[in-house]
Amino acid sequence: MKNDKKIYCWRFRIEDLEIYTASSNQGAIEAALSLEPGVEPLSYFQNRLPYDHLIEDIEKNESLVKAIESRLMNAPINITPSFDIQCTPFQMNVWKAVEQIPFGRTRTYGEVADFIGKKGGARAVGQAMNKNPLPIIFP
């Protein structure tokens, strides 16, 4: 069954890094990084989001692009984009906790699990991070 949800795609470059973004009218869906020379954003997302109507559009990705630029420049994110992510409440809790880790610092999956009140949940945190569609926002 075809999904007619409109997905707005964009590609931009910071130094040698190609960055692809996808957003809907509700918010950010995905961001991906590549060191390879870029393909057009619609082609990039065609296999990743095969059932959606893809449109190349910077405007719908503007807050996500600004957040990514800030994150990569070690600056605070002034405007947090809204999200349109398919995930469980646990995954979102993990990603929000990871987002709070100060730049340049690390935490183990066990420490993140403890922080969100899931002592002994390191493996579940790792699985949530594996599904992270916005690794620059939730590093």
The span from the CA of 84 to the CA of 28, in Å, is 5
* pLDDT value, residue 1: 45
The span from the CA of 139 to the CA of 120, in Å, is 21
Percent of the chain with pLDDT over 70: 98
Q: In the structure, how many helices (H) and strands (E) does the chain have?
A: 5, 4
| Domain definitions of the chain by residue range | 6-72, 89-130
pTM (predicted TM-score): 0.85
* pLDDT value, residue 75: 80
What lies within 8 Å, CB to CB, of 58 at 6+ separation is: 10, 65
Percent of the chain with pLDDT over 90: 64
Contact 74, 82 (CB under 8 A): no
Contact 124, 113 (CB under 8 A): yes
* pLDDT value, residue 2: 55
Its CATH architecture, for the domain 89-130, is: Orthogonal Bundle (1.10)
Confidence category of residue 72, pLDDT binned at 50, 70, 90: confident
Instruction: For residue 114, report the phi and psi dihedrals to the nearest 5 degrees.
Output: -60, -45
Flag whether pLDDT at 40 surpasses 50: yes
Flag whether pLDDT at 33 surpasses 70: yes
